[in-house]
Chain A
């Protein structure tokens, strides 16, 4: 882990931030330049995360799967802030990069023109998300959360319009209040343990005296609520479908990763702080996770059936996916963790593809009321005129619009509902198989299996209904043009899911390695503790 590869760990954070700063220097008329720069950055992020996965997983210079620890500012751990790239965090970075790249690609077709500084905000969001995945420090996690939230406030308002403003007002208020909960949780944990470094925290949790344990658990619970709001758990999720539906399609697609940030942190902290060998605090709140996960799944399933709009289906599906993941995290166990990671990857990509395909499909059906949200800017800032030169560069128009859209839509439905032969099926099958794997199947496991199957059925019903409505109903107007730029990213996401299915074997081996690393937290702790400062000999 020497030379440039060592510094690669920080690149997913620093690169988009630096490009953000550069992009701010150009005004909105230099559109091509901005597009090239931001899309190039997003592509570079994908390449960087692939390289990091390769590096961590093969472990050419260390044992395979050893986390790469990066000391920020070369301050020694646990006093300074560390970035930790282990299998889990790099997997999440890869997911966010792939989703970010495709959503940005899609946005270039038209959406980046409906408001100022789209690319800057988008890259800032990616930097924040990547930072949240990579950091090994609880307070630094807060900072990156704020970075990604600040960017998301701007993105949710992108395109302006009354509906977006109303939705974003509530979204911002809820998230600021949640951030305050986050701070209270962090302060309480610091008060009890005296550290904020996750690895150091993990070692100290088992030594917390009995009388302080309640305080620590209260702090962790408050912290957990902050993440659960982000993950969209019932009953803290009523903001989610509305906000996501109001967002512009590429924004909705990239927001699919944001709920997963909450899930990721829950997974990370519960394995580090409340794993099997953390003494008195072990297994804290697992039951809460399981039952609130069930409630989220049930609510999301009902929401999928009840909603008429495809954006509503997507929003509620995000909740079902979060609920499944949280319930599975609560149940724990090595094979189940591997299965849930596979499900996480598959469902994130599938929801991203769904958000991207909704708008062309609804445009095809002439339901323009949703995308009419490109309103006049509210404030008279420097952004004027970009709207005037609209619609003169649609790009190459592809033939057979209906066929392409229909095919993509069917793929999306199959993925979301978890039907063979796509990765959604393998993911759900793996979860159910892992649940049956134990010696005795608990009632909770039966409920989870039932909910997984029911939610898949509900998704299928709802998607079929929407498909018949939107794609089969003959319309008088000729089908609108659909540019390659819009189709290619949807195809890319679906191809990623297809690849996940074809290479399910190697992918699953990777997930199993990740799950093993999560259940044995000593690897993570040891990696952070033994890291040497640059310019010093390794002990």
Chain B
């Protein structure tokens, strides 16, 4: 399971980075999306991997070893919401830039090739 998760994070990061350095704005946005997925998975992994363990402890005193760490799950939730919102904003700016400059290049002008 660790290996699968590590591979998934690695693949997502690598593809995200590659897309981030592409010249087209839409590719950059997709790259940032993939990177944020990778980061979200990474945060979950930072709380140690557990399967079949609930994150919430009841009122009775119990052994915390039976439960998974709830903090990273809360962090991931926050991170997802924030990256969703900023991506939406970036899409709007992308459209504005396309409308104003007439190109979807990240610099607002084409390379002379």
Q: Is the Cβ of B35 less than 8 Å from the Cβ of A177?
A: yes
Tell me if B93 and A165 are in contact (CB < 8 A).
Answer: yes
A176 to B29, CA, bound (A): 10
Q: Which of chain B's residues have a CB closer than 8 A to the CB of A176?
A: 32, 36, 83, 86-87, 90
A150 touches B85 (CB 8 A): yes
B100 pairs with A180, CB closer than 8 A: no
Point out the residue from A139, A150, A188 that lies within 8 Å of B75, measured CB to CB: A139
A-B pair number, CB within 8 angstroms: 100
**Complex: A160 Cα to B28 Cα, angstroms:** 22
B1 within 8 A of A: no
Known: A139-B75, A180-B39. A173 touches B82 (CB 8 A): no
Q: B89 contacts which chain A residues (CB < 8 A)?
A: 150, 153, 172
Quick one: CB contact mask for A73-89 with B, threshold 8 Å, 1 for yes?
A: 00000000000000000
Mask: chain A, 277-309; 1 = CB below 8 Å from B; 0 = not: 000000000000000000000000000000000
Residues of A contacting B15 in the complex (Cβ-Cβ under 8 angstroms): none
Q: How many interface residues does B have (CB within 8 Å)?
A: 37
Output the nearest chain A residue to B16 by Cβ-Cβ distance. A180
Q: Let me know if B110 is at the binding interface, CB within 8 A.
A: no
Shortest beta-carbon distance from B78 to chain A in Å: 7
- In angstroms, Cα B75 to Cα A184, docked, is 11
Are A146 and B96 also in contact (CB < 8 A) when A177-B35, A196-B71 are?
no
B93 and A187 contact, CB distance less than 8 A: no
A165 touches B46 (CB 8 A): no
Contact between B96 and A184, CB atoms less than 8 A apart: no
Q: How far is the CA of A379 from the CA of B95 in the complex (A)?
A: 10
- Picked from B36, B82, B96, the residue with its CB within 8 Å of the CB of A379 is B96
Chain B, residue nearest A191 (CB):
B46
Contact B90–A184 (Cβ < 8 Å): no
A150, A162, A172, A183: the one contacting B79 at CB < 8 Å is: A183
**Known contacts A166-B97, A169-B106; A139 and B78 CB within 8 A of each other:** yes
CA distance A168 to B86 in the complex (A): 13
B43 adjacent to chain A (CB < 8 Å): yes
Contact partners of B25 in chain A: CB under 8 A: 169
Q: Is B85 touching A187 in the complex (CB atoms < 8 A)? A: no
Are A187 and B46 interface neighbours, CB within 8 A?
yes
Quick check: A186 and B108 within 8 Å, CB to CB? no
Convert B93-113 into 0s and 1s, putting 1 for each residue whose CB lies closer than 8 angstroms to a CB of A: 111110111000011100000
Known contacts being A169-B25, A176-B86, A188-B46, is A378 close to B99, with CB within 8 Å?
Answer: yes
B22-60 contact mask (Cβ, 8 Å, vs A): 1 or 0 = 000100100010011001001101111000000000000
A-B pairs with beta carbons under 8 Å apart, 6 shown: A139-B75, A146-B82, A149-B86, A184-B42, A187-B75, A191-B47
A contact set with B: CB distance below 8 Å = 139, 142-143, 146, 149-150, 153, 157, 160-162, 165-166, 168-170, 172-173, 176-177, 179-180, 183-184, 186-188, 190-191, 196, 378-379
Closest 9 CB pairs of A and B: A166-B108, A187-B46, A191-B46, A187-B43, A378-B96, A162-B100, A146-B82, A165-B97, A183-B39
